[in-house]
Amino acid sequence: MEKTKKISSVFAVFAILLFVLIALAFYTFINAKGISYLSNSSEACNNCHIMNDVYAAYTKSSHSKKIKGEAVATCGDCHLPHDFVGKWIAKAQSGVAHAYAFTFKLNDLPTNLSANAKSKAIVQENCINCHAEMVSNVVNPTTNIHAKNNSLSCVSCHAGVGHSRGF
């Protein structure tokens, strides 16, 4: 009988912790306008104050200009892989990391976000994919863009194209 009480007490503590964890996740998702991240809208990237300057610069860039009501390129078009699985994996990784930081590391948040090596490679690949015809004389689109060398990237010369802060 005592063993049963112990098991049910452990189960009750586990259930309460699970409920608290789910409640925190739900709160974070609602507070961060999480449903908006399921879209391809650039406005979703401006949900947090860290992105205000970058988003304002994007709205003035050539990529934000609308043709038939759609932006030439959204934030996701430049910063996410274009294949379906890769895009959603990157969104999930970024979303979990941002949710964790905004929930547990508010005092450590940077003033601005900076691209990591993986993000820079994605942007380079997307620049080439969208502009391959235009830059085919300058860039060999079959070049391994993930090589760890000091070759130029598109944003080396065109740092302010998407938004003025570069990365």
Which structure tokens are listed for 13?
A: 């503590």
Predicted TM-score (pTM) of this structure: 0.71
Q: Annotated binding residues, as ranges?
A: 45, 48, 51, 75, 78-79, 87, 127, 130-131, 154, 157-158, 163
Please compute the mean of the pLDDT values over residues 22-44 and round it to a whole number: 81
Owner of token pair 């938004």: 163
Binding residues for a menaquinol: 87
Q: Are 53 and 112 in contact (CB under 8 A)?
A: yes
Residues 71-94 have pLDDT tens digits of: 899 989 999 999 999 999 998 888
pLDDT at 8 over 80: yes
Binding-site residues for heme, in ranges, read 45, 48, 51, 75, 78-79, 127, 130-131, 154, 157-158, 163
Two tokens, residue 50: 């860290």
Q: Which two tokens stand for residue 79?
A: 């910063």
Average pLDDT over residues 100-122: 77
pLDDT grade for 23, boundaries at 50, 70 and 90: very high
The full set of domain ranges for the chain reads: 1-32, 42-156
Most confident by average pLDDT, 23-32, 63-72, 92-101, 142-151: 63-72
Residue 154, token pair as written in the block: 């598109």
Instruction: State the chain's mean pLDDT as an integer.
Output: 80
Write the class of the CATH domain 42-156. Answer: mainly alpha
d(CA 98, CA 80): 15
